[in-house]
Amino acid sequence: MSAESSVRIGLILPDVLGTYGDSGNATVLRKRLEWRGIEAEVLPVRLGDVTPSSLDLYVLGGGEDDAQALAADHLSKDPGMQRGVERGAVVFGVCAGLQVLGRAFTTSDGVTHPGLGLLDVSTSPGERRSVGEVVVQPDPRFGTEPLTGFENHLGITTVGPDSLPLGQVVRGTGNGEGTEGAVSGRVLATYLHGPALARNPELADLVLGWVVGLPLPPLDIPEVEQLRQERLARRRAR
């Protein structure tokens, strides 16, 4: 993108995948661009709207089983985001968003739903719900600072060979087999709520770096770093 361009961030189905406050990730991305002097706008794409394929970045949040199944069905029939990915757009998904972006997911009623296939992951229900704080050590390709967030999901997610885990779980459940999240190309998803990108600035800047085409230097916001260190200290003390 050129320096004069405004980054267009699509907030996908906030009326369906908006249960856990993950819409805040779009706000974080916009503000971190604006703090660097880069114009940005957030465009909500609600159920019934046509998803533009021309956006730079697509953000999906979390939701319950019925909402997740509705979102997957709707987006399979409205392939604007998938076409955006084909032309190089970036996608960031959380929780239900992760599962919808995968190949398939099974809801708690035993029904298996096809996903969008943008990540090589599949999800099935676990024996009990995973709820609580999570600490993740990211794969070095995706960062160096520990990731924090909270999880609230039943799913056990298997990452296939065409995707990479975002990182390894230090505390919590994550995908359910020692890893957390998944990445394929410029599609990245995680189980971390919080919103995840408010709690993990390095991850936010990784995503934005993919959008603008070059790594972004960190922003000096001492209050954010202080909160991060306090959260990590509390997790390590338990």
Active-site choice (74, 95, 113, 153): 95
Please say if 193 is a catalytic residue: yes
Please say if 74 is a catalytic residue: no
For 167, residues 6+ apart whose C-beta sits below 8 A from its C-beta are: 136, 137, 138, 139, 142, 143, 147, 179, 180, 181
Active-site choice (74, 113, 153, 193): 193
Stated as kind and residue range, the H or E segment containing 28 is helix 24-34
The token pair at 111 is 């029904």
Q: In which region does residue 214 sit, left (phi positive, over 0), alpha (psi from -120 to 50) or beta (all else)?
A: beta
Query: Which residues, listed in sequence order, are joined to residue 147 by a DSSP beta bridge?
Result: 136
Cβ–Cβ under 8 Å, residues 182 and 176:
no
Cβ–Cβ under 8 Å, residues 27 and 42:
yes
Say how far apart CA 192 and CA 189 lie, in whole Å: 9
Hey, which residues are catalytic here?
Answer: 95, 193
